[in-house]
Amino acid sequence: MSGHSKWNNIKRKKEKTDSQRAKIFTKIGREIAVAVKEGGSGDPNVNSRLKDVIAKAKQNNVPNDNIERIIKKASGEGNSDNFESIQYEGYGPCGVAVIVETLTDNRNRTAGDLRHYFDKFGGNLGTPGCVSFMFQKKGVLVIEKEGREEDQVMEDALEAGASDFQADEDVFEIQTEPEDFSGVRDDLAAKGYGFVSAEVEQVPDTYSRIEDADLAVKMGKLLEMLEDNDDVQAVWHNWENPDEDEA
C-alpha cells in the first residue's frame, strides 16, 4: 500500500476501543497457538513463525504474561484447539478487491458469515484466486519520522536487505521480500528502531476508487464487519484513500 494510505489505516487502528483491543489480543493469541502447533515448538529461537507472531503481539501491546500463557497451553498435550488457515477472496462495491485471511475451527460458519457480509454491503464473495493475482506479498515496516534523518533510515534499511523505501509526511515505509522480512526487522530493531507496524502484507498492484458516497459508506461497513469477526485475522483490499472517500 502507498505510504499515505497505509499510515491512515494505522492511525485508525491506533484509535480502537478497549473491546476492539481485546478482540485483537484474542486473534493474535489464536495466531500464536497455531504457530506453536504448526512449528512443532514453543521456542521462538527454533520456530521462526512463532518468533514473528510474538513480535506482532508485542507491537500490539499484548502483555508478556498473555503470550507465555498461550504458548504454554498450545504446547500442552491436552490442547484440542484445531484451527485451519483459509483465505477468502471477493469484491466490495465498485469492484474493490478484498482478501480475507482467517483461522477457523468451523469453515462452514466462517464461509457463511463472510458471504453474508459481502452480500449485505453490495459485494460478493468470489472463488479462490479471483483477486489474489492483483496483490503481492511484501514485508512492510513503518517507522515514525520524528527525530530520524531520512538518508540514515534509508541507508540502514537497504543495508538490512530492504527492497524498497518510501518517505511519507509522517512515516518511513520500508518494504522487503517476504523471506527477508524477519531478518530486516531484526536488524533494524537491533539498531534501535521501533515500528508503528511490521508484518507481511498483501500489497495491491493497482487501486480502485469509490466515487459514490453511499457505496463508500457500504465499503467501510463491509470492512468493519469483516475485521470484527472472530475468525478473521487480516483483511487486505485495494480501496484507494478510504478516509477521503468516506468523508
> What is d(CA 148, CA 189) in angstroms, rounded to the nearest whole number?
14
pLDDT for the residue 6:
54
More confident residue, 15 or 160: 160
Work out the average pLDDT over 223-243: 89
Look at residue 194 and give its three-state secondary structure.
coil
Residue where the block lists cell 519520522: 145
Work out the average pLDDT over 232-247: 77
Work out the average pLDDT over 183-198: 93
35-44, 156-165, 232-241: range with highest mean pLDDT: 156-165
What would the 3-class secondary structure string for 34-85 be? HHHHHHCCCCCCCCHHHHHHHHHHHHCCCCHHHHHHHHHHHHCCCCCCCCEE
Give this prediction's pTM.
Answer: 0.84
How many residues are listed for the chain in this entry? Answer: 247
Average of per-residue pLDDT values in the chain:
88
Q: Is residue 228 pLDDT above 60, yes or no?
A: yes
Indicate the angle between helix axes 18-39 and 64-75, nearest 10 degrees.
Answer: 40
Work out the average pLDDT over 210-219: 94
